[in-house]
Structure 1
């Protein structure tokens, strides 16, 4: 049990460490020691490092339909699997998320398809 707790503590994010420190301080009167502060610094350094690493999962966001709105609606329908009305609503309510959690290759392929017909797409 203690080993599992230790493993969970080691894998906390900076936000979670801060929340834990606040709970310990407010509810139990325990001030964070320097080891907690060091752990926060290590976690923040790890987050900065992971942010620098290349992103592999993206959301595809339609920013502009360009001049050929009908073509964009058709492509949105094809890509999302939604009906014609839902696809039109996505195109009419820009910016809109077309797909979430897409791998890098698929996201770039879809972005290229939309750009070929004059639409503007952002990968986040």
Structure 2
């Protein structure tokens, strides 16, 4: 880094939160930019074609779909579905027999992946959508 950027960095470190907030407002006004967090977590700088492009929608909610239930694994899958969903025996049985059917909807990707592992471990065929 150059000495100019080193000096600026040191001055920024000494600012209070109120002063930093005022600095952000002044930078936004002076350069016609926004410090708001962009959608998708990417920062778009400049006025090139990339800056004008629509931000991609990132899927944040996933559904765990029970695609197929092998007959010899039905009871184990039914027990796992009951544990995951909290459904009663009849409701869980109806869900398992109605495959393909959503076991859980609108959950985070990590949770969907975990449920997929749990259900596949007992023999179910699972899809995440």
With normalisation by structure 2, the TM-score equals 0.55
Unaligned runs of 5+ in 2: 1-51
1:57 pairs, out of 58, 61, 65, with 61
With normalisation by structure 1, the TM-score equals 0.57
- The count of aligned residue pairs is 77
Q: Is 1:46 the counterpart of 2:50 in the alignment? A: no
Distance (whole Å) between structure 2 residues aligned to residue 100 and residue 114 of structure 1: 15
Distance (whole Å) between structure 2 residues aligned to residue 65 and residue 78 of structure 1: 17
Q: Is 1:117 the counterpart of 2:85 in the alignment? A: no
Aligned-CA RMSD value: 1.6
- Does the residue aligned with 1:99 lie in a helix, a strand or coil? strand
Q: Paired residue for 2:96?
A: 91
Q: Paired residue for 1:76?
A: 81
Superposed structure 1 runs of 4+ greater than 2 Å apart: none
Greater share of residues in helix: 1
Shift of 1:57: 1.5
Distance (whole Å) between structure 1 residues aligned to residue 88 and residue 73 of structure 2: 19
- Does the residue aligned with 1:56 lie in a helix, a strand or coil? coil
Unaligned runs of 5+ in 1: 1-41
Q: Paired residue for 1:39?
A: none
Shift of 1:46: 2.7
- Does the residue aligned with 2:54 lie in a helix, a strand or coil? helix
Shift of 1:56: 2.8
Distance (whole Å) between structure 2 residues aligned to residue 57 and residue 105 of structure 1: 10
